[in-house]
Structure 1
Amino acid sequence: MSYQQLTEGKRYQISALLTQGYSPAAIATVVEVHRSTVYREMKRNSHDGVYEPEEAHARSRSRRVMARKYRVPEQTVMYVELALSWHWSPEQVSGIGKLIGLPVSHEWIYRHVAAEKARGGKLYKTLRQGHKRYRKGSNSKRAVIPEPISIDDRPAIVDTRGRFGDWEVDTVLGRHGSGALVTLAERKSRLYLVRRVDAKRATDVRDAIIDMLMPYADHVHTITADNGSEFVEHKAIAEALGAEFYFAHPYSSWERGLNENFNGLLRQFIPKGTDLRLITDEDVRWAEKRLNLRPRKCLGFRQPEMVFQEYLQAA
């Protein structure tokens, strides 16, 4: 059964069944939604362990309003595409847009161009280096992710880093055929986790993510990934952790910039092209430790590991 938005009526059903002692899985069967939907609903909309359907529905509507607020208006999209046709750079389009009352970031413009190219569009040809920046999109075969939830639907609070428990996930490949590293980064504390897997198979990646995050399951609200085939088991991951799993736009690595940055730093200890079969789990933990004990300017030169523990104890 697929993920779906809950109606106010279903929320009252959930409340009544909780009162009768039904488990979330049993509630899902009665209400006819996926059980991850019920887990997600209770996690997001309960207050101090109490689920009130009227308050839950109000919170849900508020989040949808905020999501619409951050969508780019159609008039702005029309301006962006017109300006790109004049061979303006995204930075120039963004700068002029702010002056004429059509604000849009240059990062969004790049995402829009990439998404439009994936649909067969030609906007990328207006960019000075478009053929280089997006050449991967012309011939790569993207995995079909079952029932993905777009980053566009992710709560706005994740972007602000104002909440503890929002994670980014990625994989780092070693020499061909030697395995991969599954990496996770917590956006607020900047904690970085690394786990080696024998292959970039979806089942291996699924198990690694669940195993790494299960000790902190109460502090896993969202996970954001790219569109790689190794994440096709996203629903199993979300269900196991009681979290929400989102997918960034294709070819938009900046939407998971923290993890991308850490993966680059990891190369200091495990260089590109390393045969991961020759790397021990102790080697991986040592590199992870080194990165988590580095003082970070964005944390007031505190260490991610220490900051993460402070948030755990305060929660």
Structure 2
Amino acid sequence: MEVVLSIRRVKKGPGRRPQSAKRQRFMELRARGWSILAAAREVGVSRTAGNNWSRGYKIYRHGQVVKTVAPLDRLLVRQISARFLSLEERIVIADLRQAGMTVRGIAVQTGRAPSTISRELRRNARARGPYRPFEAHTKAAGRRARHPKSRLETNIELRRIVGEGLAVRWSPAQISRHLRGKFPARPEMWLCHESIYRAVYEPGSALVRPSPLAPHRTSPLRTGRDHRRAHQKTDRRRPRFEQPVLTIHDRPFAPEDRSTPGEWEGDLIIGKNQGSAIGTLVERTTRTIRLLHLTARDSETLQVALEKRMSDLPPSLLRSITWDQGIEMARHLSIATALNTKIYFCDSHSPWQRGSNENSNGLLRDYFPKGTDLSAHPPEHLLAVENELNNRPRLVLGDRVPANLFAALLLSPEHQVLRR
């Protein structure tokens, strides 16, 4: 009987699909100490593919995790002994089996013992379905792997103490020091903090459970993470903003100097679950407030809103904008060019450097409370709030109204400095 073999190629795919030359080379470079990015570039794949191969990934559906794909198993891409069936041999077995050849006939064609073919089909063929070579190869690699049990799995007392510490939200480092202090003469009860982190990050870990006093936090870690975050060297991090960046220290006036009009401070007030935002701008001299209606919280939306809202001002009343280090201002160079102004950034965790804007955001929370959906407010409502605040007398202005002071600046031929 003449058998026609298929010429199908080895399937490609992410995660734990069978070996390919690129995956094999990638894992070899990683074993030699190469970074994920460098190894990915060397073999010609994207950085995302390299991250998926090294760390695994999650598959989401409707905002819920439906599957966790484990990191690429090194046994799937490593060169193995000839006594094990290779992926190519499994593909041939699948083709011959589908063509109706017997076990002994397959053994003759592949040069393997009939018992080897019989065992392969018995282990990996589905009860009511065809033999799948790719799935069989993955299962075989899993059987070859050695999974030694950790100390937390074998030592019940140690696991109980670690679980109790995590339940009261102790950090892994605190638990590690506690174990050494409590059991100074029992090294088998010692555990480094990295071992605790690995146990917490293990998929389906029993240590990930809400604590009695903080049931809203599912992770026992203070960071709230259930997986390890990638760390990068400082020189490899991508810059947050377009370069170059002007800081608040580059401004030509001191923070307490408010004598020159046209210097603005800006920020965002954030809505429920970080899902909505409103842009806020305050003129430092007159405390005039302007609000930006944002349909999304990203740099492109903010750029369009800023250019539309501030383009009506003369250059002398739009000298600069001082902003927080939020990623929404990533296009600051484009915004500065379009508005013909300068944009300065405050220092990290220094809200007092935008004192007027922080005070105005507090006033705006009367209209837009925290924990509410800010996207529900149309532009007309934002304009009404803006007008109401700008027509409120301010003690810092000598009970004058910001709207009147700003109107006087607009009517002034040279937009001179206001005198109190």
Q: TM-score, normalised by structure 2?
A: 0.40
Deviation (angstroms), 1:278: 2.3
Which residue of the partner structure matches residue 404 of structure 2?
306
Secondary structure of the residue that 1:210 maps to in structure 2?
helix
Relative contact order (C-alpha < 8 Å, sep 6+): which is higher?
Answer: 1
Q: Describe the shift of the 1:163–1:303 C-alpha distance in structure 2 as closer, same or farther (beyond 3 A).
A: same
Deviation (angstroms), 1:157: 5.8
Aligned mate of 2:377, from 251, 274, 279: 279
Q: Describe the shift of the 1:305–1:142 C-alpha distance in structure 2 as closer, same or farther (beyond 3 A).
A: farther
Q: Distance in 1 between matches of 2:276 and 2:357?
A: 19
Deviation (angstroms), 1:210: 1.4
Q: Distance in 1 between matches of 2:297 and 2:372?
A: 15
Which residue of the partner structure matches residue 112 of structure 2?
none
1:225-244 matches, cutoff 5 A = 225-244=323-342
1:167-246 matches, cutoff 5 A = 167-176=264-273, 178-218=275-315, 219-246=317-344
Deviation (angstroms), 1:194: 0.6
* CA displacement 1:114-152 (0-9 Å, x = unmatched): xxxxxxxxxxxxxxxxxxxxx99xx9x997222211111
* CA displacement 1:70-92 (0-9 Å, x = unmatched): xxxxxxxxxxxxxxxxxxxxxxx
Which residue of the partner structure matches residue 357 of structure 2?
259
Q: Is the 8 A contact 2:277 2:375 kept in 1?
A: no
Please tell me the residue identity of whatever aligns with 1:144: R
Aligned mate of 2:250, from 147, 153, 159: 153
Please tell me the residue identity of whatever aligns with 2:348: P
Q: Distance in 2 between matches of 1:186 and 1:284?
A: 17
Q: Is the 8 A contact 1:157 1:163 kept in 2?
A: no
Q: Is the 8 A contact 1:217 1:241 kept in 2?
A: no
1:288-299 matches, cutoff 5 A = 288-299=386-397
Q: Is the 8 A contact 1:193 1:288 kept in 2?
A: yes
Q: Describe the shift of the 1:194–1:284 C-alpha distance in structure 2 as closer, same or farther (beyond 3 A).
A: same
Q: Is the 8 A contact 1:143 1:228 kept in 2?
A: no
Q: Describe the shift of the 1:158–1:255 C-alpha distance in structure 2 as closer, same or farther (beyond 3 A).
A: closer
Deviation (angstroms), 1:312: 1.3
Deviation (angstroms), 1:179: 2.2
Secondary structure of the residue that 2:240 maps to in structure 1?
coil
Aligned mate of 1:164, from 261, 273, 276: 261
RMSD, aligned CA:
2.3
Q: Is the 8 A contact 1:185 1:193 kept in 2?
A: yes
Moved more, 157-166 or 299-308: 157-166
Please tell me the residue identity of whatever aligns with 2:272: R
Deviation (angstroms), 1:158: 6.1
1:100-139 matches, cutoff 5 A = none
Where structure 2 has 5 or more consecutive residues not aligned to the other structure, the ranges are 1-221, 224-228, 230-236, 416-420
Q: TM-score, normalised by structure 1?
A: 0.53
Larger Rg, first or second structure (1 or 2): 2
Q: Distance in 1 between matches of 2:255 and 2:263?
A: 6
Q: Distance in 2 between matches of 1:276 and 1:254?
A: 25
Q: Is the 8 A contact 1:192 1:292 kept in 2?
A: yes
Q: Is the 8 A contact 2:321 2:344 kept in 1?
A: yes
Where structure 1 has 5 or more consecutive residues not aligned to the other structure, the ranges are 1-134
Q: Distance in 1 between matches of 2:238 and 2:410?
A: 37
Identity of aligned residues (%): 35
Q: Is the 8 A contact 1:179 1:196 kept in 2?
A: no
Q: Distance in 2 between matches of 1:277 and 1:249?
A: 29
Q: Is the 8 A contact 2:262 2:284 kept in 1?
A: yes
